[in-house]
Amino acid sequence: MTAFKSSVSLSSVNGGHAKAGEVHVIIGPMFAGKTTGLLRRIKSESSSGRTVAMIKSSKDTRYAKDSVVTHDGLKFPCWALPDLASFQHKLGDDEYQKNLISRVICVYRQLDVIGIDEAQFFEDLYDFCCKAADHDGKTIIVAGLDGDYLRRSFGSMLDVIPLADTVTKLTARCEVCGGRAFFTWRKTSETKTELIGGSDLYMPVCRQHYVSGESAMESTRTVLESFKVPNDSQTEVSAVM
């Protein structure tokens, strides 16, 4: 896999001795810099001579299929997977990967650090972190949304917090008032939890403007229902906050 060449920098294997792993969690609303923080940490670990790999959900195809990409364009090669259980299987314990410059032994047991972006999409996140950190001695850095657009827990992100050595809660900038944004507001009337998009569908907001936006949306629904507008003729209405 050519994309893996930049995300692997082999270091010496730890002499076969058991070592303790770590779990670090980065959470927050959209546009809070979670992916940027993850990439900064992964690049720092790689520069220190540790073997690194990056994973993201194959559901996230917004910018690139085989790279983790921040909203401002920073990129890092990754494995795009439907689940985390397939990661070790894909690497194998004795598989050789070639890059364009040299032959690189790319095996799971030699990895020191694994970054996971958009981690809320992985149903097996808790099990993977347990095994990788507790039994395999890996450092796992997880970044994802802690809450969905309704401020409910998203996927397994909150489940891994009890496993974590550190938890970092980032904030964004409220698009309405410029204050600290803790929540993600969905601009459309779509109600399914997993609706992947960027600034076209979401914006970060503070508590005040999240609540006022909810009130505005509820008022809009009430007005539409009072006029009995048929579903097929309704247009999506974004809240004015």
- CATH number of the domain residue 179 falls in: 3.30.60.20
pLDDT of residue 221: 53
For the chain, the domain total comes to 2
Is residue 124 domain-shared with residue 179, that is, in the same domain? no
- Of 138, 170, 202, the one marking the end of a domain is 170
Alpha helices in the chain (DSSP H): 34-47, 85-91, 125-129, 207-227
Question: pLDDT tens for residues 73-110?
Answer: 778 888 889 999 888 777 754 443 443 333 334 578 88
Q: What mean pLDDT do residues 34-43 have?
A: 94
Question: pLDDT tens for residues 128-156?
Answer: 999 999 999 999 999 999 999 999 999 99
Query: pTM of the prediction?
Result: 0.75
Is residue 74 domain-shared with residue 8, that is, in the same domain? yes
Is residue 73 domain-shared with residue 180, that is, in the same domain? no
Question: pLDDT tens for residues 159-218?
Answer: 999 999 999 999 999 999 999 999 999 988 888 887 877 778 899 999 999 998 875 665
pLDDT of residue 215: 59
Q: For residue 55, what pLDDT band results from cuts at 50, 70 and 90? A: very high
pLDDT of residue 213: 80
Q: Is 202 annotated as a binding residue?
A: yes
Domain that holds residue 143: 2-170
Residue with more model confidence, 133 or 219: 133
Considering the candidates 22, 45, 95, 118, report the single residue annotated as catalytic.
118
Q: Which residue has the tokens 């149903």?
A: 123
pLDDT of residue 99: 38
pLDDT of residue 33: 93
And the tokens for 163? 């496993």
CATH classification of the domain holding 146: 3.40.50.300
3-state helix, strand, coil in the chain (%, to 5): 30, 25, 45
Whether residue 4 is predicted with pLDDT greater than 60 in this model: the reply is no
Q: For residue 11, what pLDDT band results from cuts at 50, 70 and 90? A: very low
CB 3 within 8 A of CB 77: yes
Whether residue 32 is predicted with pLDDT greater than 90 in this model: the reply is yes
Is residue 162 domain-shared with residue 176, that is, in the same domain? no
Verify whether residue 22 is a known catalytic residue: no
Which residues pair with residue 186 across a beta bridge? 202
